[in-house]
Structure 1
Amino acid sequence: MIRLFASDMDGTLLNDKGYISDRTINAVKKLQKHGIHFIVNTGRDYRAAKRELDAASLSCDMICHSGACTYDVHGNGFHIASLPKSIAKQILTVFERHGAFADIATEYGKTSITDKNTLLSYYKNEVFPAVEQEGKVYFRTWHDFAMMVSKVRFFEGKESLLGCETPIYKISTTFFDQDKINALKDDIHGIDQLHAVSTSKNDLEITHVNAQKGTALLRYAQTRKITPSQILAVGDSGNDLSMLSLDLGVTAAMANASATVKDVCSVIAPSNDQDGVAFLIEDILEQNELAARVRRSFCLALDYSKI
């Protein structure tokens, strides 16, 4: 029986318009009402993930930064696996060599070692064109984007960040030019103790080797006394592979997932635009109800046998 449902966010829980559909909202709430844990397992930082849950009036625990930090429903962080500053320095040096913008996630949320104008140019010239090419939505409105920018914590250069005690959870970047991102990937793989994955052909996410969605999910489940066989995990992209390749009760790929993701999963769900997460939840609840009916019938049969 499934006791924990773990869902990726972008391309999975969210549809292509960047929303959680009404059907999915109702399904998640019904799942929780039946006592089954629901957790979001995302590459987003806490603020960006919570923004979508708040818009849908949903509350749940979250694994953020692709496994680097887990948060309870109240926003308290635990199970933290940050990048050692020595490794972060190597990563940032490689980024500089390739002219890559360092999109950094820390305990402050989105963090930058450049100025605001450089950040805005990065989104204009790299992120937005890449996202548009993929047909995805990360910011539904310019207001959402402006709110994100207003909350960025700026440091004066990498030494300022590396010299303080602020933990670094993830360093990522996006290049519209795929040749540039591929060259960066080749260079990054020469650094030890890190985990590098991509959610698309245009991006790269780097965390500590112990900060992976799969590792974080198992650690979370253990604290809830939930076994791997009682977990259903669903996702669509490369940073989901560490959890979808685990020996879980059910591993589901969205219909819009990459071929690599589909190959490791036991189930293919409808796409994110066809409420694939809701479909999986409804199936779980239906199976649980069927099992409950069988148990009730069995108990009645035992009672009648005593007559």
Structure 2
Amino acid sequence: MIKLFATDLDGTLLKSGNIIKDEDKRAIQLLSKHHIDFAIATGRLDRDILEICKELKQPAHRVSQNGTFVKTKDSESIYSKTFDVSNSIAIHEKVTAYENVLCISTCDEIYISEITDEMKALENFLYFPLVEGIDFIEQYGKSIHASKYMLIGEEKELTGIQKELTDQFADKMESYLSDPRCLDIVPEGVSKAEGLKALAAHLQIKPEEIAVIGDAYNDIPMFEMTPNSFAMSSAPAAVQQKASYVVSDVCEAIEQITNLVKN
């Protein structure tokens, strides 16, 4: 029996321009009638999820930054993991050597190496402004606690960088292509799946009682944790192959799982 439904945001619940379809909103609001809890699992910050919840008029358990932070719908923090000082410095020195635009996230802020024209366009679709400047290597462990590094570039270039980083920091970090142009680097052991497992333990439910939906490579770990996994039809073929079902919209996945509950 499904007891929790977790959705990704960008490319899944959120369409281009931060649009949420009315059909998806209505479907999410109906989950409680079937005694199904609701969660959002995303690479975005927790503050962004809260803005989405306002639009949905629906509270949600929140797995942010690919599982780096997990909070309940009542904003109780049940899990967090950031890079320690030595790894923050080492990774910072490595990723700043690339020519790519770099974003560094903390619990509640995103710092960017340079606000290019591309990033200005992206910023229009963010709920909060980016902070320009990442010259704070001496502040790690003091005012800066890094939770995620993100490199921007072409997919082929990013996969090459991903291999280099994995070779050097294999036991220190995880990396995911959250978008064809975005490489996310998070602490070792962090994933949406691990975040959802922490939430499941807190809610006293089993992973197989969770249904999940997403569209990117960083969603694959949560596809692999439950048989109730849905990939968006817009997802890359390799991502679709990891899910149990392929759907066009969030509401379609919710309809399937609510029918299972009825039966």
- TM norm. shorter chain > 0.5: yes
Question: Which amino acid letter does the alignment assign opposite residue 250 of structure 1?
Answer: N
Is residue 229 of structure 1 aligned with residue 202 of structure 2?
A: no
Q: How far off its partner does 1:44 sit?
A: 0.4
Q: Which amino acid aligns with 1:196?
A: S
Instruction: Give the equivalent residue in structure 2 for 1:300.
Output: none
Query: Counterpart of 1:284?
Result: 257
Structure 1 residues 98-109: aligned runs within 5 Å? 98-109=98-109
2: CA distance, partners of 1:156 / 1:197: 22
CA positional deviation for 1:50: 2.2
What's 2:49 paired with?
49
Deviation of 1:29 (Å): 1.0
- C-alpha change, 1:148 and 1:4, in structure 2 (3 Å) is same
CA contact (8 A) 2:45 2:108 kept: no
Given that 2:45 and 2:107 are in contact with CA atoms closer than 8 Å, whether structure 1 keeps it comes out as no
- Aligned pair in 2 of structure 1 residues 100, 222: CA closer, same or farther (>3 Å)? same
Give, in whole Å, the separation in 1 of the partners of 2:41 and 2:96: 30
Paired positions, count: 261
d(CA) in 2 for partners of 1:200, 1:82: 22
Structure with bigger gyration radius:
1
CA distance in 1, matches of 2:158, 2:179: 11
Alignment of 1:264-279 (within 5 A): 264-270=242-248, 276-279=249-252
Q: Select 1:250's aligned residue among 208, 217, 228.
A: 228
User: What percentage of residue pairs aligned between the two structures are identical?
Assistant: 21
> Mind listing any 5+ residue stretches in structure 2 that lack a counterpart?
none
- Contact 1:81 1:208 survives alignment (8 Å): yes
Matches within 5 A, 1:124-203: 124-125=117-118, 128=121, 142=124, 145=126, 148-149=128-129, 152=131, 157-164=135-142, 166-175=144-153, 177-178=154-155, 180-189=157-166, 190-191=168-169, 192-203=171-182
Aligned structure 1 segments of 4 or more residues deviating by more than 6 angstroms: none
Partner of 2:9: 9
TM-score between the two structures when normalised by the length of structure 2:
0.89
1:261 aligned to which of 216, 230, 239: 239
Structure 2 CA distance for aligned equivalents of residues 108 and 231 of structure 1:
27
Alignment partners' CA distance in 2, 1:90 and 1:107: 20
The 5-angstrom pairing of residues 57-68 of structure 1 reads: 57-68=57-68
CA distance in 1, matches of 2:111, 2:96: 16
Q: CA 1:284–1:179 in structure 2 vs 1: closer, same or farther (change >3 Å)?
A: closer
Could you tell me which runs of 5 or more consecutive residues in structure 1 were left unpaired when the two chains were aligned.
129-137, 271-275, 292-307
How many angstroms apart in 2 are the aligned matches of 1:288 and 1:108? Answer: 37
SS in 2 for 1:168: coil
